[in-house]
Amino acid sequence: MSERTLHLNVNVIASGAHPAAWRLPEANRRAFFDPAHYANIARIAEAGLFDTAFMADNSFLHPDGYPNSGLDPIVTLSAMAAATSRIGLVGSYSTTFHHPYGIARTFASLDHLSAGRIGWNVVTSRNKPEGLNYGFSDLPDRDTRYGRALEAVEVVTALWDSWQPGALVLDPATGIAVDRDLIKPIDYVGEHFSVAGPLQLPPSPQGRPLITQAGGSEGGLDLAARFADAVFTSALYIEPAREYYAKLKAAVARYGRSPDSIAIMPGINPVIGSTEEEARRRIAEHDEIVGPVGGQLEKFAKWVGVDPAALDPDRPFPLELLEPTGGTYSSVGFDTAARLYLERNRHRTVRELAAAGRQGHRNLVGSAEQVADDLENWFRTGAADGFVIQFDTLPGGLELFIEHVVPLLQKKGIFRREYGENTLRERFGVPYIRA
């Protein structure tokens, strides 16, 4: 096996990423609020030797479609940790809505609970409905949100480092539990936060939980280059993916870090069949359940960041509607990918674009061999260190991938045949080094 191997991560989206997933006969209708469903996905992914099970999060009830964000990610990760022993577990937690002391304590607690398998996905939250649920009539602008995020990560990592080696004594003979001379306050005072510290917990089994980030925008790229151990990206085409890969690796080096210390992992949406024709038939059957457009038009509009009412399904997308930084509903970092996608498909109607599938990440529809070859190409040619995978259905799509694609990746020598590391940091090749 080659020294460098793929990182595979499952994005646990309730019943699956396809809008029809919850309506299929085999689906768990209660998936979005069933802890046992999430625990089962983690067990299956662990059996397939995945690096992590990842949970995104939105703190509001979507106005349409099946709710994919129900359970609190921290509570759910706890259930997933109890059901597994090796797979990493990564959860999104917003620096816009949560205080860094609470973040530091929460993720350190999870890391103790899981024996060193936890990662924090740093998000800045730009959805207005979420803001309203946290008392924001208007969310801070992008620069403010990223300024707050940078401070939050500085505080959180300082708190995780506030116990020096040897601070935990636990000597019943002397009655000394901790050596307080080796536990230092952080006394952080910034524009957004003032935190005395220290953290009330000793370092977790991996020193610090893994830090991940979605570094699409300039602010996100800078945050990722400074702090992230892994980055989730949106990349629809291989040429821009290679450019982004090189750009972020260079930015990491400018901060004095090794470019190898960060894993860049685009999202993909695979649909697998024994042949490409069978895979396309599978997705066509799913599409038929929701109709030719159904709720997909609204989902498409939200990805692009425009009002669905502004779109004529039977005309091409009006490019002038696409704002440079994304619209009211779009996710941070997807605006560049959206513009490129729309420019390359400028002659297709909105109806065709909306029916094309799950926007924001690349659709891979084909045989197991085609999917494995595609992943190998991106991996070997400087476009990706791994992938975050949104399966059309869960657990079905994940099980198909593990049964048919994983063995091909192993045969190519680019994916593990067993877990060899204990902590998530070790798996990503970024051992903890105290600042």
pLDDT at 330: 35
Q: How far apart are CA 221 and CA 372, in angstroms?
A: 28
pLDDT at 127: 82
Q: Which residue(s) pair with 195 in the sheet?
A: 188
**Per-position pLDDT tens, the chain of length 435:** 348 899 999 999 999 988 889 999 999 999 999 999 999 999 999 999 999 999 999 899 987 778 888 899 999 999 999 999 999 999 999 999 999 999 999 999 999 999 999 999 999 987 888 999 999 999 998 889 999 999 999 999 999 999 999 999 999 999 999 999 999 999 999 999 999 999 999 999 999 999 999 866 777 888 999 999 999 998 888 998 999 999 999 999 999 999 999 999 999 999 999 999 999 999 888 888 877 555 667 777 777 778 888 888 888 888 888 754 434 433 333 455 677 778 777 777 887 777 665 556 888 999 999 999 999 999 999 999 999 999 999 999 999 999 999 999 999 999 999 999 989 999 999 977 665
Q: How far apart are CA 70 and CA 58, in angstroms?
A: 8
Q: Is the pTM of this model over 0.85?
A: yes
- Strand extents, DSSP E, 251-294: 263-273
pLDDT at 326: 39
CA distances from 416 to 5, 61, 411 (A): 7, 38, 10
Residue 300's nearest CA partner among 93, 65, 9, 33 is 65
Q: How far apart are CA 153 and CA 159, in angstroms?
A: 10
Q: How far apart are CA 402 and CA 53, in angstroms?
A: 14
What is the 8-class DSSP label of residue 202?
P
Concatenated DSSP letters of 54-112: EE---SS--SSS-----S-HHHHHHHHHHH-SSSEEEEEEETTTS-HHHHHHHHHHHHH
What is the 8-class DSSP label of residue 182?
G
Q: Which long-range contacts (CB under 8 A, 24 or more apart) does 137-144 make?
A: 139/96, 140/96, 142/217, 142/219, 142/325, 142/332, 143/219
pLDDT at 368: 97
pLDDT at 434: 67
Say if CB 397 and CB 270 are below 8 A apart: yes
Question: Cis omega before residue 140 (within 30°)?
Answer: no
